[in-house]
């Protein structure tokens, strides 16, 4: 079993100090779409119209 497997999205902002966005496994996001929804709602991440992911530092 790969207990440490978890979904990650990366910030596309320039020189990001904290480029990885992920979510605790117990909430079980199964898709990147669901992960983005959680990060947007709770962490302030954004998905731009041209398909880039931006963390709260760049939003």
Where does this chain bind Zn ion (CB under 5 A)?
A: 11, 13, 16, 55, 57-58
Select 37 or 58, whichever has its Cβ closest to Zn ion: 58
The CA distance from 1 to 20, in Å, is 23
Select 3 or 51, whichever has its Cβ closest to Zn ion: 51
In whole angstroms, the minimum distance from the beta carbon of 2 to Zn ion comes to 27
* DSSP run (H or E) holding 38: helix 32-43
Select 28 or 32, whichever has its Cβ closest to Zn ion: 32
Is residue 19 within 8 A of residue 10, CB to CB? The reply is: yes
């Amino acid at each position: 079993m790969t207990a440490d497997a978890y979904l990650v999205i990366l910030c596309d902002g320039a020189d990001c100090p904290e480029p990885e966005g992920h979510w605790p496994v117990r909430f079980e996001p199964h898709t990147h779409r669901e992960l983005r929804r959680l990060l947007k709602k709770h962490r302030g991440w954004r998905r731009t119209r041209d398909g880039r992911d931006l963390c709260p530092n760049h939003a």
